[in-house]
Structure 1
Amino acid sequence: MRLPSWLAQHLAALRALLVFTALFGLAYPLAMVAVGRVPGLADNTGGSLVAVDGRAVGSALIGQSFTDADGNPVPRYFQSRPAAAGDGYDPTSTGASNLGPESVVDTIAADPAESTPSLLTRVCARSRAVGRLDGVDGRRPYCTTDGVGAVLAVFRRDGLTGPVTRVVSVNQVAPATPFLHSYQGVPVELARPGEDYVSAGGLVVPVRGDAPAEPAVPADAVTASGSGLDPHISPAYAQIQVARVARERGADPAAVRRLVREHTTGRLLGFLGSPAVNVLELNLALDQRFPVR
Structure 2
Amino acid sequence: MDRMPSWVRQHVAALRALLVLTVVTGVIYPLVATGVAQALLNDKANGSLIEKDGKVVGSALIGQSFTDANGNPMRRYFQSRPSAAGDGYDPTSTAAGNLGPEDVIDTLPDPNGADEAAKEGKQSLLTRVCARSKAVGELEGVSGARPYCAPDGVGAVLKVFPDRAVSVNQACPATPFMPTYEGLKVECAKPGEDYAAGRTVPIRGNAGTPSVPADAVTASGSGLDPDISAAYAELQAPRVARERGLAVEQVRALIAEHTTGRALGFMGEPAVNVLELNLALDRV
TM-score of the aligned structures, taking structure 1 as reference length = 0.91
Root-mean-square deviation over aligned CA pairs: 1.3
Q: Give the AA of the match of 1:109.
A: P
1:59 equivalent in structure 2: 59
Q: Distance in 2 between matches of 1:109 and 1:220?
A: 28
**Which residue identity does 1:226 align to in structure 2?**
G
Q: Which amino acid aligns with 1:105?
A: I
Rounded to whole Å, the distance in 1 between the matches of 2:236 and 2:50 is: 23
Gap runs ≥5 in structure 1: 156-163
Distance 1:9 1:271 in 2: 58
Deviation at 1:3, TM superposition (A): 3.9
Q: Which amino acid aligns with 2:70?
A: D
Partner of 2:206: 210
- Cα displacement string for residues 101-137 of structure 1 (whole angstroms, at most 9, x for unaligned residues): 1110001131486110000000000001111111112
The CA deviation at 1:257 is 0.6
Give the aligned partner of residue 158 of structure 1. none
Equivalence for 1:282: 277
Q: Give 1:147's aligned residue.
A: 153
The Cα shift of 1:98 comes to 1.3
Mark the runs of 5 or more structure 2 residues left unpaired by the alignment: 112-117
2: CA distance between counterparts of 1:120 and 1:18? 56
Q: State the alpha-carbon separation in 1 of the partners of residues 145 and 88 from structure 2.
A: 25
> What is the distance in 2 between the residues matched to 1:46 and 1:175?
54
| 2:261 equivalent among 259, 263, 266 | 266
- Counterpart amino acid of residue 280 in structure 1: L
| Equivalent residue number for residue 21 of structure 2 | 20
| Alignment deviations for residues 239-288 of structure 1 (CA, whole Å, 9 cap, x no partner) | 01011111111111011111100000011111222210000000000111
How many corresponding residue pairs?
277
Partner of residue 178 from structure 1, selected from 176, 179, 198: 176
Residue matched to 2:91 = 91
CA distance in 1, matches of 2:149, 2:20: 63
CA distance in 1, matches of 2:230, 2:173: 38
Over the matched positions of the two proteins, sequence identity in percent amounts to 66
The SS at the match of 1:38 is helix
1:196 is the counterpart of 2:194: yes
The offset of 1:175, in angstroms, is 3.0
Q: How much has 1:45 moved relative to structure 2?
A: 1.5
